[in-house]
Structure 1
Amino acid sequence: MDEAAKLVVLKQDLQRLTTANDDYLKNLMKLAASAIKTEGITLTEGDIDSDMAVIQYAAYLFRKRAGTDTAMPRFLRWQLNNMLFSQKGKAT
């Protein structure tokens, strides 16, 4: 999935119809990818799991700034853990 397609999916997730926040959302996706890589997860371009993890992490970052509940959603934490364990399991 290219960056434009990821942006469309992120906007759908956030229920945003306008282009007013596009630059901010693109930066959130970059931040999300960086944060995921910091956890030791290798993101694969075009892999649906990697793409959706970045999109969901960016959506979490967007929602977190306006809400009082800043904890990472459990489903996202599980997804990241599963990706990490799967990659580390294949490495041995």
Structure 2
Amino acid sequence: MTAEEKLEVLKCDLQLLTSANDVLLKKLLSQAEEAIKTEGITLIKNDISCDMAVISYAAYLFRKRASAETTMPRFLRYQLNNILFKQKGGAL
């Protein structure tokens, strides 16, 4: 998935219709990639699981700014764990 496609999917996830937040969202996508890498996950280009994990993580970063609840959503933790376990087990 290209960077622009990731941005579009992220905007759909967040239900944003304008490009007013595009600069922030692009930075959040980059931040999400780096945060995932620090967990020991190797992001594989054009792998739907990795791409969607980055998008979900960026959406979490965006949403937690406006919320008192800052805990990572359980589905995202499971998603990241599954990718990591597959990679460590040799499945990816």
Scaled by the length of structure 1, the TM-score of the pair is 0.97
Q: Which stretches of structure 1, 4 residues or longer, exceed 4 Å deviation after superposition? A: none
Partner of 2:62: 62
Partner of 1:11: 11
Aligned counterparts, 1:1-92, within 5 A? 1-90=1-90
CA distance in 2, matches of 1:82, 1:50: 10
Alignment: residue pair count: 91
CA distance in 2, matches of 1:71, 1:22: 24
Cα offset for 1:90? 1.0
Over the aligned positions, Cα root-mean-square deviation in angstroms equals 0.9
CA distance in 2, matches of 1:75, 1:20: 28
In structure 1, the gaps of 5 or more residues are none
Scaled by the length of structure 2, the TM-score of the pair is 0.97
In structure 2, the gaps of 5 or more residues are none
Identity %, equivalent residues: 67
